Amino acid sequence: MTQEETERFYKALRDTNLSAIEALIEEHIEKQVSPVVILNEGLIGAMGIIGQEFKAGQVWVPEVLLSARNMHRGIDLLKPQLLKNHVPSRGKFLIGTVKGDIHDIGKNLVTMMITGAGYEVIDLGVDVSKERFLEVITKDHPHIVGLSALLTTTMLEMKEVIRTIRQTFPKTPKIIIGGAPVTQKFADEIGADGYGEDAVRAVELSNRLLSDNASR
């Protein structure tokens, strides 16, 4: 896909009207562009640009929410084609806000960005117990687990979740944490494999952890 084509996807992701992305996806399917290319170079490529703009402070949360909404619509339209082609995901990512915490905007932003980066995401929602995390890890074997907390109270719950997971799974999955009160220092103290300051950094961190894993 040319840079101009990716640029068209970028514009469609930022359009307040859903029909822009719908028309663009249909146009590419009709032209028989591979759904893998539409996904990776179109949608994910364009979302990557928006992510970088967000990180650089050029766009704000409403723009990210809008492009995530549009991207989800695009993926829905592509799904039948993708299933036919059996596109492998980049990795499996389990995410949830820890027990006692019902805040989800930060978690949702990470979910959107991670989905946009080509991961298969299992979103457990808010107020998730450590037992529930363990149960899903045992069943679905995610590569990465993301824990979110907005409150200083519930931030301490992350430590418990990590302890519980590590008793059964000493090395993998990788566990990363984030949320307003969280710092790198805190992540190190509780034995997390990483800390993402914002949604884009969470994606970068996940990519890095997976490539570290693969190169080992």
Partner 1 sequence: MKMEMKPLSTPKRRFLSGLFGGRKGDRISVANPTSIISVELMEKTGIFFPEAHLDPEKMAELAAAGHEILGFDTIMPEFSVQQEAEGLGCLVDWGSPTMMPDAKTHPAKEANDIQIPENLLDKPSMNVVLKALEILRKSYGDHVGIIGKVMGPWTLSYHLAGVQDFLLWTLTDSDKVRRFLDRLKEVAIAFAKAQLQAGADVVVIADHATGDLVSPKTYQDFLLPVHQEMNQRIGGPTILHLCGNCSDRLRLFVEAGFDAYHFEWQVDAKKAVQVVNHEMSLIGNISNKEVLFGGTPEGVYRQARYSIEAGVDILAPECAIPLQTPLANLKAIVEAAKEGYSPMSC
Write out the residues near partner 1 by the rule CB under 8 A: 16, 59-63, 65-66, 69, 100, 102, 105, 108, 151-153, 180-181, 183, 185-186
Q: Could you tell me the smallest distance in angstroms from the CB atom of residue 60 to partner 1?
A: 5
- Of the pair 107, 174, the CB lying nearest partner 1 is at 107
* Residues 191, 46: Cα–Cα separation, whole Å: 34
Q: Could you tell me the smallest distance in angstroms from the CB atom of residue 61 to partner 1?
A: 5
Using CA atoms of 145, 150, 155, 160 in order, give the dihedral in degrees to the nearest 10.
-40
- Of the pair 149, 203, the CB lying nearest partner 1 is at 149
Amino acid at 26: E
Q: Could you tell me the smallest distance in angstroms from the CB atom of residue 12 to partner 1?
A: 14
- Of the pair 23, 180, the CB lying nearest partner 1 is at 180
Please check whether residue 24 is in contact with residue 9, taking contact to mean a CB–CB distance below 8 angstroms.
yes
- Of the pair 104, 213, the CB lying nearest partner 1 is at 104
- Of the pair 112, 161, the CB lying nearest partner 1 is at 112
Please check whether residue 92 is in contact with residue 141, taking contact to mean a CB–CB distance below 8 angstroms.
yes
Give helix 199-215 / helix 105-116 axis angle, nearest 10°.
50
Q: Could you tell me the smallest distance in angstroms from the CB atom of residue 191 to partner 1?
A: 18
Q: Could you tell me the smallest distance in angstroms from the CB atom of residue 210 to partner 1?
A: 28
